Amino acid sequence: MGTGDIHDAVLEGTYWWGVPTLLGAEHDKDPANCDIALVGVPHSTGNGTTERDQHLGPRAVRNVSGWLGGRVHNDFGIDPWAGHRVSDLGDVPFPQANNNEHCIAQITDFYRNIDQAGARPVSIGGDHSITGGILKAIAGPEAKLTGGAKAGLLHIDAHTDTYDMLDHFLGAKRSAAHWGAYLVKEGHVDAQRSVQIGLRGHTRSLDWLQSSVDLGYEVITMQRYREIGAAAACDIIRTRLGDGPVYITFDLDCLDPSVAPAVSNLEPGVGGFSIDEANQLLRCVRGKTVIGGDVVCLMPTKDQPNNITSMVASTVMFEIMALVADCLSTA
């Protein structure tokens, strides 16, 4: 080992040294060269609110997540990097970044290549509309990762994102407010095998949960979660997801604002999850066929000087990556 290699080894694990990549993974654009594909999705025109800096999320996570490279998962007792090829594929390109419908199609095209390569994607957004584009490619008809089956969804969020009562979200039709509905109707998500958990806050209508219920989702509001407790909620999740393919989507606004202050749609009126509670919900999926997941709605321009929300987003990505790695090890 040369002097340069020794210096590199000493510096690995610091977030501020070297070329920034997601979780410190090697950068390789070819999905055929990896088992787990880390992807940035810098898209924000699917969110109809004025908070549109979610497209800066992937860059922010790359800047702070290097310290997670090579880390083991103590609760699982595994090294998620061992025996698995993990690559940062870079970002989905958006040549028409202000055209939401075009961007969602671009996401689907990008992830079709990942699906056909047999890699399992773990992504950082971007607003929540990206989940629609991703699952259009990797679940349902013609998807290799699910064998053509629909995916069961673990959706951790403060909001339902099934707002069928809206024709569009300030111009965006395949928006952050609609993906949870159209994925079910178009045959990519099986709502009967899906759970939405963490929903909270004052809403614009009293029937705000009805669209999710009508679609067939199991809905666990924050109030219900507090009433039944974490263990019961985890039992519901595991039973509901069953034995089929599972996808995880994690909106950072499910977390309490004291944990993740830099998100696009804060719900400060009701306490959200602590990071330990969120990790418990994620880890209860261990043993399921996890085909991938995403973390969305990071707002780096609203973060604290220590980049705490970006760091939290990084750790959630690592949790999902560890679930995928564990699934691959036991397949």
Order the strands of the 36-41 sheet from edge to edge: 26-27, 86-91, 36-41, 120-125, 289-296, 245-251, 152-156, 195-199, 218-221
Task: Give the SS3 label for residue 148.
Answer: coil
Beta bridge mates, 187: none
* Tokens found for residue 153: 């969804």
Q: Which of 252, 250, 249, 302 is nearest to 52 (CA)?
A: 302
- The answer to whether the beta carbons of residues 22 and 76 sit under 8 Å apart is no
Task: Give the SS3 label for residue 198.
Answer: strand
C-alpha–C-alpha distance, residues 269 and 314, integer Å: 25
Burial of 173: CB neighbours in 10 Å, binned 0-12, 13-18, 19+:
middle
Q: Which domains does the chain have, with CATH numbers?
A: 25-330 (3.40.800.10)
Task: Give the SS3 label for residue 24.
Answer: helix
* Tokens found for residue 301: 């321009």
Entry field: residues in the chain: 331
C-alpha–C-alpha distance, residues 284 and 194, integer Å: 14
- The answer to whether the beta carbons of residues 241 and 156 sit under 8 Å apart is no
C-alpha–C-alpha distance, residues 6 and 11, integer Å: 9
Instruction: Give the pLDDT of residue 331.
Output: 74
Other Cβ atoms less than 10 A from the Cβ of 14: the count is 12
Burial of 81: CB neighbours in 10 Å, binned 0-12, 13-18, 19+:
buried
Instruction: Give the pLDDT of residue 302.
Output: 95
For 74-146, list the strands marked E by DSSP.
Answer: 86-91, 120-125
Instruction: Give the pLDDT of residue 203.
Output: 82
Give mean pLDDT in consecutive 10-residue pieces for the chain, a chain of 331 residues: 55 82 97 98 82 91 94 96 97 94 97 98 96 98 97 97 81 85 97 98 86 97 98 98 97 97 93 98 98 97 96 98 96 74
> Please, what is the end-to-end C-alpha distance for the chain in angstroms?
36
C-alpha–C-alpha distance, residues 314 and 308, integer Å: 10
* Tokens found for residue 186: 């178009």
Task: Give the SS3 label for residue 232.
Answer: helix
C-alpha–C-alpha distance, residues 202 and 211, integer Å: 17
C-alpha–C-alpha distance, residues 238 and 246, integer Å: 11
Q: Which of 208, 193, 201 is nearest to 160 (CA)?
A: 208
Task: Give the SS3 label for residue 287.
Answer: coil
**Residue 132: CA count within 13 A, CB half-sphere:** 30
C-alpha–C-alpha distance, residues 135 and 8, integer Å: 38
Instruction: Give the pLDDT of residue 1.
Output: 44
Place of tokens 């569009």: 168
